């Protein structure tokens, strides 16, 4: 079999790699009832000016683009969303991408942080004010945190890419870049 050689430089390389990444429903193939995924949002810093208010994240105190990440329990990324402006709340972004309904149709449980509270029946988030609640709420929060921790590794796999440390490209290209990076990440994890 002849290997496909894809140039890493040039305007089309990112689009070619991005085309190979699975969509949300394709990424969830193989998962079903009784399985769970970890959903988290991450901010890709951008080089923007103060006038670009939609890209300013109050939470991170910097300009950027928000990317939603779905990972399996061992921390392997399954899917990266298209990028939305940095001020987009994680719950709003998850609803825009249809993450909860896609998992609901396959009866997949979602573990997420408090930002996703109210996302739907299949989304489990920690309890608020657990220090004022009975011990079983505290135990639930500890177990939830332990199970969700490997999902942080999936979004952390984007951070070492020099291209995304402080993106200086147009914001519409960041989603394509993230999708292009997803292809080698999934190729490495399947070995």
Q: Identify the pLDDT of residue 48.
A: 66
Q: What is the pLDDT of residues 166-184, one digit of tens each?
A: 666 666 667 777 777 766 6
State yes or no: pLDDT of 6 exceeds 50: no
The answer to whether residue 13 sits within a structural domain is no
State yes or no: pLDDT of 139 exceeds 50: yes
The answer to whether residue 146 sits within a structural domain is yes
State yes or no: pLDDT of 129 exceeds 80: no
Q: Identify the pLDDT of residue 111.
A: 93
Between the alpha carbon of residue 29 and those of residues 23, 95, 122, 184, the distances in Å are: 10, 20, 17, 19
State yes or no: pLDDT of 81 exceeds 80: yes
The answer to whether residue 120 sits within a structural domain is yes
Q: What angle do CA 98, 101, 106 make, to 5 degrees?
A: 125
State yes or no: pLDDT of 122 exceeds 90: no
Q: Identify the pLDDT of residue 168.
A: 64
Are 39 and 151 spatial neighbours (Cβ–Cβ below 8 Å)? yes
- The model's confidence at residue 1, banded by pLDDT at 50, 70 and 90, is very low
- The model's confidence at residue 133, banded by pLDDT at 50, 70 and 90, is low
Tokens linked to 134: 């009975």
The answer to whether residue 126 sits within a structural domain is yes
What is the average per-residue pLDDT within 92-100?
A: 90
The answer to whether residue 98 sits within a structural domain is yes
State yes or no: pLDDT of 113 exceeds 60: yes
Residue with tokens 């394709």: 26
- The model's confidence at residue 164, banded by pLDDT at 50, 70 and 90, is low
The answer to whether residue 4 sits within a structural domain is no
Say how many domains are in the chain. Answer: 1
The answer to whether residue 3 sits within a structural domain is no
What is the average per-residue pLDDT within 102-122?
A: 87
The answer to whether residue 47 sits within a structural domain is yes
What domain range includes position 135?
Answer: 21-184
What is the average per-residue pLDDT within 91-105?
A: 89
């Amino acid at each position: 079999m002849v290997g496909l050689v894809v140039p890493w430089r040039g305007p089309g390389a990112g689009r070619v790699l991005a085309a190979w990444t699975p969509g949300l429903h394709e990424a969830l193939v193989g998962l079903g009832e009784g399985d769970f995924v970890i959903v988290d949002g991450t901010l890709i810093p951008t080089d923007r000016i103060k006038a670009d208010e939609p890209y300013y994240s109050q939470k991170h105190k910097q300009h950027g683009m928000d990317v939603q990440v779905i990972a399996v329990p061992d921390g392997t990324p399954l899917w990266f969303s298209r990028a939305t402006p940095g001020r987009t709340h994680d719950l709003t972004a998850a609803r825009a991408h249809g993450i909860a309904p896609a998992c609901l149709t396959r009866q997949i449980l979602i573990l997420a942080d408090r930002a996703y509270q109210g996302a739907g029946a299949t989304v489990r988030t920690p309890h608020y004010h657990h220090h004022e609640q009975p011990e079983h709420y505290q135990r639930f929060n500890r177990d939830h945190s332990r199970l969700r921790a490997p999902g942080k590794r999936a979004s952390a796999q984007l951070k070492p890419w020099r291209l995304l440390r402080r993106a200086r490209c147009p914001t519409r290209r960041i989603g394509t870049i993230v999708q292009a990076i997803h292809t080698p990440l999934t190729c490495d994890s399947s070995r």
